[in-house]
Structure 1
Amino acid sequence: MNVLLLAASAALLINQSAPAAEPRVVTARGDLGADERATIDLFRNARDSVVFISTRQRVANFWTRNVYSVPRGSGSGLVWDEAGHIVTNFHVIEGASEAQVQLADGRQFSATLVGVSPQHDLAVLKIGGAGFTAPARVPIGTSSDLQVGQNVFAIGNPFGLDWTLTKGIVSALDRSLPNENGPDIRHLIQTDAAINPGNSGGPLLDSAGRLIGINTAIYSPSGASAGIGFAVPVDTVMRVVPQLISEGRYTRPSLGIEGDDDINDRLKSASGIEGVFVLRVDPGSSAERAGLVAAQRTRRGVSPGDIVTALNGKPVSRVGDLLARLDDFRVGQSVEITLMRGGEERTVRLELEPGS
């Protein structure tokens, strides 16, 4: 009892002697900096055009044979036009059975797949219907005139955290990444703007709020942003997406020849010639009309025919590299290829044809 009285008395004395706590004075912040106001306006203007995409996959129970729909993944996308087309990455919807799109205003739609281009990691979905009102769209910019060091902004849904803005710079241009679905993905924009899983498919914007790329990948051993992100340039998007909308697929331009990188590496090692060895010439193609000759098997091994060493004066040494360079052109355009055969070099001009 005495202990309790002593403790109470001590607490009373402490409270009586302690100074009264006064609130801190709030310092007025003043006006935001011009760069801050510009960034805020950029986000406000672009946010409504960015969507959140969640996908599901149907799986069957082996024992009951019941079919279930289970979550598969998520990503970001961009409203492309007033018709409700959504541009995203191919890897965001790859393997999915269904996709749900949520707009910034909370509206949700079941999406239908319009077309994909795995070699560009691009896909187009469609939402809406009668009476659908599309949100505002971001203006389209260009990527051919980008410069290392200029500011860029990424908007997306990293780790499912909706509508997140990150800022960085263009770290490098014309990067290439290997692609399991075909030729290398070329001309990528490298940026240090934080891009994480879930950002894929979202827009990369310049300081004027214009679309300059679609965020596609990161380089990171841990799977989280390490300051090295990549975006498909808008010039590529502008070439591919209209075809996906109108035809459901991208028709790549072709020379009418075929090659194989594994065989190509062995032939380069054996011959010491850097280039793409023609293994087949398509019948009736412009390559056949120009007199290109494919490699032939002989008793002693393989007898090289024509070897493509350059396209429009730029050296090529791999099949994937050649296909990626051709992707800068359209079907019907003409290109000049440099050929080597029997130690002699020549150039021919071929009209690009629809590839498979």
Structure 2
Amino acid sequence: MSLRRIVSLLWLAVVLLLLLVLWRGTPFWLGAPSPDAKPRPVTARGDLAADEKATIEIFEKSRDSVVFISTRATVMDLYTRNVFTVPRGTGSGFIWDDKGHVITNFHVIEGASEATVRLADGRSFRAALVGASPPHDIAVLRIGVAFKRPPPVPIGTSHDLKVGQKVFAIGNPFGLDWTLTTGIVSALDRALPTEDGRTIDHLIQTDAAINPGNSGGPLLDSAGRLIGINTAIYSPSGASAGIGFAVPVDTVNRVVPHLIAKGRYIRPALGIEVDEMLNARLTRLLGVEGVVILRVLPDSSAAQAGLKGATLGPDGSLVPGDIILAVNSRPVRSVAELFSRLDDFQVGDQVTLRLLRGSRQLEVAVTLMPGA
């Protein structure tokens, strides 16, 4: 092959390579602009579906009643000894009444030295803590709203909820304010252990997306009524996995008036001493399911009803007295379950205990007294 032919082939290869680079780098290089280009015509949508209209109406009516809560904690610099506050976290809440009371979860404000409540219209207020009930994960704050007070959330009921009902959650997940998620009631009467060893009972389980920051916000039914307080999620990743929990409104409506009136919730009690760990060991040894009464407090409701506590045998062993098997025919298998059963009542209510005394069972009526 001649040198001239080789040079021609090389130049042809270079030209082809340049064309390939241009084609791959600018795939539309052969296109030409169209000066008469116009937006495409919009296709008419028509009316929204009935369920869409209902969802929009629920959100628009409830939005102003939901608040954004941010908290700060007091810390001390170990070197300078200066005391200052730092951001602690955010959560949600809702307006309870026309006196400025705001309901949220206890864990939203736990450990905080101050809290700020921001309304949907942008106004912010420094909040005061009125009262809290850690066992129910409920806290009541108060803000001074002098004018244009947001409406309270309408109150519904939770004892008649059915699995499959539609629910709507409004809150501030990850600080993204006034977010609406929807779902259904997935299950009822769930119990959830907390990090400090407590158990929150009677929870509503829902698949409405609930994420960090939703805590304290309202869970609503299809009529826009409050049926629960969004309180927790179950998720290995910390984000919504379709399992969320809410404190039922029947509990909220029972506990909140106590917190507003007295600053704390006084739980109904029998007037006995029990111990969770010791009870588990004793019932296992005795082969029964129930709660062993260790001691009956003097002048208590239990003492007046004739309940008997455990005693010490001649050899120093513990001799059981009465073992509580049920409250109003509902079985009791642990100390936590006993407290949960009693929490369904109020101070002054009378309950019937089914007891195991020795080898026989008996029923005793006890009037509930204020707990410690």
Confirm or deny that 1:243 pairs with 2:258: yes
Deviations 1:230-277 (A, max 9, x none): 000000000000110010000000011121110001001111011000
Distance in 1 (alpha carbons) for counterparts of 2:324 and 2:74: 46
Tell me, which stretches of 5 or more residues in structure 2 are unaligned?
A: 1-14
Deviations 1:194-220 (A, max 9, x none): 000000000000001000000001111
- Separation in 2 of the partners of 1:341 and 1:37? 61
Letter aligned with residue 169 of structure 1: I
2:178 is aligned with 1:163: yes
Amino acid at match of 2:112: A
The match for 2:331 among 312, 315, 336 is 315
> Which one of the candidate residues 70, 82, 95 is aligned to 2:111?
95
> In structure 2, what is the equivalent of residue 86 of structure 1?
102
- Partner Cα separation in structure 1 for residue 109 and residue 33 of structure 2: 67
Larger Rg: 2
Question: Deviation string for 1:19-62 (max 9, x for gaps)?
Answer: 97554332111111111011111100000000000000010111
Q: Is it true that 1:233 corresponds to 2:251 in the alignment?
A: no
Q: Which amino acid aligns with 1:118?
A: P
Counterpart AA for 1:271 = L
1:182–1:320 Cα contact (<8 Å) kept: no
1:184 shift after superposition: 2.5
Percent of aligned pairs with the same amino acid: 66
Partner of 2:272: 257
- Counterpart-to-counterpart distance in 2, 1:75 and 1:82: 21
**Native 8 Å contact 1:119 1:179 kept in 2:** no
The question of 1:280 aligning with 2:283 is answered no
Alpha-carbon distance between aligned partners in 1 of 2:33 and 2:158, rounded to the nearest angstrom: 69
Provide the residue aligned with 1:118 in structure 2: 134
Q: Secondary structure at the match of 2:174?
A: helix
Q: Which of 40, 53, 59 does residue 56 from structure 2 map onto?
A: 40
Matched length: 349
Deviation at 1:14, TM superposition (A): 3.5
The equivalent residue for 2:71 is: 55
* Counterpart check, 1:208 vs 2:229: no
Match of 1:339 in 2: 355
**Partner SS for 1:63:** coil
Could you say what secondary structure the match of 1:29 adopts? coil
1:291 aligns with 2:306: yes
State the TM-score, normalizing by the size of structure 2: 0.90
CA contact (8 A) 1:119 1:182 kept: no
> Contact 1:339–1:346 (CA<8 Å) still a contact in 2?
yes
Distance 2:347 2:34 in 1: 84
Whether 1:105 aligns to 2:121 is yes
Which has the larger displacement, 43-52 or 172-181?
172-181
- Unaligned stretches of 5+ residues in structure 1: none
Contact 1:183–1:324 under 8 Å retained in 2: no
Judging changes above 3 Å, is the alpha-carbon distance between structure 1 residues 325 and 180 closer, same or farther for their aligned structure 2 residues?
Answer: farther
Residue type matched to 2:326 in 1? A
- Is the 1:214–1:232 contact (alpha carbons within 8 Å) kept by the matching residues of 2? yes
1:141 maps to 156
Letter paired with 1:163: W
Cα RMSD after superposing both structures = 2.2
Distance 2:32 2:83 in 1: 72
Separation (CA, whole Å) in 2 of partners of 1:16 and 1:124: 66
Secondary structure of the structure 2 residue equivalent to 1:48: helix
Preserved CA contact (<8 Å) 1:309 1:338 = yes
CA distance in 1, matches of 2:260, 2:305: 34
Find the residue that maps to 2:103 and give its secondary structure. Answer: strand
2: CA distance, partners of 1:165 / 1:88: 17
Deviation at 1:280, TM superposition (A): 1.4
Q: Amino acid of the residue matched to residue 235 of structure 2?
A: S
| 1:151 paired residue number | 166
Q: What letter corresponds to residue 52 of structure 1 in structure 2?
A: F
Please give the per-residue CA displacement for 1:117-150, whole angstroms capped at 9, x wherever unaligned: 0000000001016x34421222111111111001
Distance 1:197 1:100 in 2: 18
Question: Cα 1:182–1:238, aligned 2, differ >3 Å: closer, same or farther?
Answer: farther
Equivalent AA in structure 1 for residue 370 of structure 2: P
